[in-house]
Structure 1
Amino acid sequence: MSTSLRVILFVASLCVFFFIMKKIKKAKLKIEYALFWIVSSILLLILSIFPQIAYFFADICGIKSPVNFIFLFSIMVLFVHNFYLTLRISNLDNMINSLTEEIAVRNYYKKEEENESK
């Protein structure tokens, strides 16, 4: 792995880490969502400091270049994270639909009661 790539990984990881921490401090990001980005930035920091890890896993997976392993690993992790977020959005969408229906029913009965009292 080239030195320039290691420096880029190191700087980008630090920037992401501090950006996420800043958002947590300002209460603009929940810790449960920030945890993924914190762990990812720490993993990239470790890979930039100890490139032997990338060489080791690239050899195990049969990938010729450790850079390709890092890209493949990053893409796979992002796919998994994207799937998790899709599940979360689907769950929230179902909850919104249920709440909307409940509010509509309550408003209907409230209007019925008002009409009966007149």
Structure 2
Amino acid sequence: MSVTLRVILIISSFIAFYLCITKIKKSQLKIENSVTWMLGCIILILMSIFPNVVVWISEKLGFVAPVNFIFLVMIAFLLMQIFIDNIHITSLNEKIKDLDHYIALKEKEEKYSNK
């Protein structure tokens, strides 16, 4: 793994980690939602600090270059994050549907009580 790639990974990981911390402090991001981002940052930092492990794993898995393994890890991480976000979206959609039904029933009750 080239030194340039290692430096880029470390810098971008620290920036992402810093952004997560500042968003949590400003109450713009919940801790439970930022755990996966922080975990991803830590994994990238570890992969940058210990490139021999990345090279060894990529060779064992049959990757042509270690950078391809890093891309796979990043893609897997993003897919995991998308899956978690979809779970949250589905939950929120159900809550919106329930709230919509509740409002419709209240409006119907109010309409009949005013007659």
Give the CA deviation at 1:8: 0.4
Name the residue aligned to 1:4. 4
- CA offsets per residue over residues 44-90 of structure 1, 9 Å max, x none? 11111111121122122111211110001111221122122122212
Name the residue aligned to 2:40. 40
How high is the TM-score relative to the length of structure 1? Answer: 0.91
Mapped pair 1:103 → 2:110: no
- CA offsets per residue over residues 8-66 of structure 1, 9 Å max, x none? 00100000001110000000000111111111111111111111121122122111211
> What is the distance in 1 between the residues matched to 2:81 and 2:29?
16
Q: Residue 114 of structure 2: SS of its match in structure 1? A: helix
Name the residue aligned to 1:58. 58
Gapped regions of structure 2 (runs ≥ 5): none
Mapped pair 1:71 → 2:71: yes
Name the residue aligned to 2:23. 23
Q: Residue 109 of structure 2: SS of its match in structure 1? A: helix
> Counterpart amino acid of 1:40?
G
Name the residue aligned to 1:85. 85
Segment drifting more, 89-98 vs 1-10: 89-98
How high is the TM-score relative to the length of structure 2? Answer: 0.93
Segment drifting more, 104-113 vs 19-28: 104-113
> Counterpart amino acid of 1:62?
G
> What is the distance in 2 between the residues matched to 1:60 and 1:108?
65
Q: Residue 93 of structure 1: SS of its match in structure 2? A: helix
- Structure with higher Rg: it is 1
> What is the distance in 2 between the residues matched to 1:98 and 1:64?
51
> What is the distance in 1 between the residues matched to 2:4 and 2:53?
17
